[in-house]
Structure 1
């Protein structure tokens, strides 16, 4: 059983006006097999948490700790965090011209495991995962995310998740830009990963629609860079009916 522990995390981002505090003391513990939904209005710090955990250089941790099984995550480089078991599915996956999906996936798997996967087994695993995600076989020969639709990009993120088998998956608004069919297919992929009980999931979302397909164990509401409330799946149901207004100052309108 692995544990990702976040304690009193403060994070700032550099702006034209200088450093701007975004996270203001986040405490969160995620264990193997647990799914934590991170919800909240736009600008509340949800994506900042995701990119800070992954090691994005734009975000500066000014206080607090992040540990994975006791190891200091904040002292690790981005690739070391991936090797330690952290995985980030990006809200806006970037294009990588000149690198095919096939080469990208095998190179990533080799880097994380420290050795190349057996070609015959790997090819079989990739094909099986793509079939489950309803991906055309020719998809593997295309350049990473180049010319992909929104749904293709998100399915490619889940394909990576299924093949790389991290300890903790951080899914940053994986539901954004998806139609109903793509949302269902992506959610099925996440649920397959969850079913083994070995992967902890941080599911970051603005809306509750993905939670109709992926039932969280815990729900945390982010407001102004802090956890304002937490509970079980029933909290997401309450947010569905009430929105975030009760967490915000009078007169504030959420996007």
Structure 2
């Protein structure tokens, strides 16, 4: 589904990704862990198409198409969802308005009919209930006044409504207490653990992986993947840290 080959990227002339290669198949969940400054968020932003991140070498294909040749809205319409480490606030725009507009824009781009207001509200309430989020929060401005945990839960509701094929989740577990972490992890499993979908999950902590249970864990250090293993690798990292593995690589 996603193939990254020798990807190099920089910000303001500073190299961040330095030859990163990774392949994710349909039905797979991959976790990326690594020290601060390794390039984890840069990878997420490059895949999402954020301005200011310049790809200087390498390629990325998504469903056989050149991902880097697509604008951000085209990537979204093709089924890519980017979950932010720090979800932004959008004053004056309600969750319902934001999500219905986003979903119908994608449906139109794919040649599908737009959802009516009634059908959308039914979908949105069902997704909110599955993530144990009060449906009244759908009426509030996007993330305004939300706690860190509420923002992440709201983002999972967004993902459930958009129903992407590939989810790139940048530290979804940050700011979550134990109960919220389990709810979000179970939401990821419910929405994305399907034969035709895939997840790239960026995290610092093994605790989320106890719930999501990735197929592969990768260690990212100095802009490239230096080690890959199964879910047990996260336990090793929890005990030993990143330094020994990065130095050995």
- Matched residue, 1:97: 91
CA distance, structure 1, for counterparts of residue 161 and residue 80 of structure 2: 13
- Of 196, 207, 221, the match for 1:223: 221
In 1, are the aligned partners of 2:173 and 2:208 still within 8 Å (CA)?
A: yes
- Of 97, 101, 104, the match for 1:107: 101
- Matched residue, 1:253: none
Helix, strand or coil: the match of 1:49?
helix
CA distance, structure 2, for counterparts of residue 155 and residue 199 of structure 1: 20
Shift of 1:197: 2.5
CA distance, structure 1, for counterparts of residue 138 and residue 214 of structure 2: 31
What are structure 2's unaligned runs of at least 5 residues? none
What are structure 1's unaligned runs of at least 5 residues? 251-255
CA distance, structure 2, for counterparts of residue 35 and residue 79 of structure 1: 24
TM-score by length of 1: 0.93
Summarize deviations over 1:174-204 as a string: whole Å, max 9, x none: 0011111111111111010133332200000
Helix, strand or coil: the match of 2:235?
helix
TM-score by length of 2: 0.95
CA distance, structure 2, for counterparts of residue 53 and residue 108 of structure 1: 19
- Matched residue, 2:245: 247
Helix, strand or coil: the match of 2:121?
helix
Summarize deviations over 1:50-109 as a string: whole Å, max 9, x none: 000000112100001111122111111110111111100000011111110001110010
CA distance, structure 2, for counterparts of residue 240 and residue 141 of structure 1: 40
Summarize deviations over 1:30-69 as a string: whole Å, max 9, x none: 1221000011111111110000000011210000111112
CA distance, structure 2, for counterparts of residue 154 and residue 75 of structure 1: 29
Summarize deviations over 1:214-248 as a string: whole Å, max 9, x none: 10001110010010000111211211221112034
- Of 158, 161, 166, the match for 1:160: 158
In 2, are the aligned partners of 1:150 and 1:178 still within 8 Å (CA)?
A: yes
- Matched residue, 2:189: 191
- Matched residue, 1:138: 136
- Of 120, 123, 126, the match for 1:125: 123
In 2, are the aligned partners of 1:223 and 1:247 still within 8 Å (CA)?
A: no
- Of 38, 48, 55, the match for 1:54: 48
Find out whether 1:74 has 2:74 as its counterpart: no
Helix, strand or coil: the match of 1:196?
coil
With 216-225 and 233-242 compared, the bigger mean Cα shift is at 233-242
Aligned residues: 244
In 1, are the aligned partners of 2:28 and 2:193 still within 8 Å (CA)?
A: no
- Matched residue, 2:22: 28
- Of 149, 152, 158, the match for 1:151: 149
